Amino acid sequence: MPRGTLIVFEGLDRCGKTTQTRLCVEGLSRTGVKLAAGLPWRFPDRTTPIGEVLNTYLTSKTELGDEAAHLLFSANRWEKAATIREALGRGETVVYDRYAYSGVAYSVAKGLGMEWCLAADEGLPRPDVVVFLEVGVDEARGREGFGGERFEEAETQKRVGAVFDRLKGEGWSVVEGSGRMEEVAERVKAVVWPVVQAVTGRDDEVGELWGQGVRKRQG
Ligand code: NYM
Ligand code: MG
């Protein structure tokens, strides 16, 4: 049986990921692609015990050291790794709102080492496509809800964006995220749909991070 496609959305806070992951899932379901239940999935998954701790951290009800926070965000992905692989193995496509790239980008922006940050997520299922929604910090900060959580301020977002720039590589599609949501959704569809069709016809194994795309060792 052909496996499902792993589609990941990344970007700064308020770049439109939540809207676009939803529209992407709606679009895929109309085309008849077999989808995992309850999409889009998202990281952090705030429903697990680890995710509850991360939620209190992000809403500033708990303090965590940067290393501890990084490892908890990563652990929150590892606790879903088998579920993701199983869904893909059943031929179900999975759409994620944030993934390990956010983990690295936010932690490196706080000053942690790139290599140390990459190590925690090494071996997770590798996305077939990373859709990066590009929205300038000035536009994102003007959107409703910006500033509600930890890290949602311009200086941090600029540093996070600079790390994302270093992570962009093979398998990434940078999509202009400004404009009407329907227009952005069309741009997303233009990059996602060919990948879904290619994966469906290929019958290969799901890869592992940090295979092609992001170098394993980075300064
Ligand atoms: N975040 C998210 C991290 O710092 N590390 C991670 O590994 C992940 C997945 O959580 N500001 C941060 C980025 C966001 C915040 O995400 C919550 P969202 O998509 O804004 O709810
Ligand atoms: Mg946010």
Question: In 32-130, which ranges are continuous DSSP H helix?
Answer: 49-58, 66-89, 100-109, 114-121
- CATH code of 6-209, in short, is 3.40.50.300
Residue 211 pLDDT class (50, 70, 90 cuts)? confident
Please tell me if the CB atom of residue 151 comes closer than 6 angstroms to any atom of ligand 1: yes
The predicted pLDDT at position 212 comes to 58
**Helices (H), ranges, 131-171:** 137-142, 154-167
Ligand 1 contact via 125 beta carbon (within 6 Å): no
CB neighbour burial string for 45-55, b if at least 16 within 10 angstroms, e if fewer: bbeeebbebbb
In this structure, the residue with its CA closest to atom 3 of ligand 1 is 103
Name the residue of 41, 98, 146 whose CB sits within 8 Å of the most ligand 1 atoms, as the mutation to test its pocket.
98
pTM for the full model?
A: 0.96
Percent of the chain residues topping a pLDDT of 90: 94
| Cβ–ligand 1 contact at 109 (below 6 Å) | no
Name, in order, each residue with C-beta under 8 angstroms of 143's C-beta and a sequence gap of 6 or more: 14
Q: Is 78 exposed, middle or buried (0-12, 13-18, 19+ CB in 10 A)?
A: middle
Nearest ligand for residue 106 CA? 1
User: How far, in Å, CA of 166 to CA of 109, rounded?
Assistant: 12
Strands 129-134 and 94-97: unpaired
Residue 203 CB: number of other CB atoms within 10 A? 9
Residue 217 is predicted with a pLDDT of 44
Per residue in 1-45, pLDDT (tens digit) is 899 999 999 999 999 999 999 999 999 999 999 999 999 999 999
Q: Is 98 in the pocket of ligand 1 (CB under 6 A)?
A: yes
User: Is the C-beta atom of 106 inside 6 A of ligand 1?
Assistant: yes
Measured in Å, residue 90 CA sits from the centre of ligand 2 at 31
Nearest CA to 24 out of 147, 218, 197, 184 is that of 184
pLDDT of residue 210: 95
Residue 203: per-residue pLDDT: 84
Q: Looking at ligand 1, which atom is closest to the CA of residue 152?
A: 11
Q: What is the pLDDT of residue 1?
A: 85
Average pLDDT, the chain: 95
Q: Is 13 in the pocket of ligand 1 (CB under 6 A)?
A: yes
Ligand that lies nearest to the alpha carbon of residue 146, given by its number in the listed order: 2
| pLDDT at site 218 | 46
User: Quick check: helix, strand or coil at residue 139?
Assistant: helix
Lowest mean pLDDT among 146-155, 179-188, 205-214: 205-214
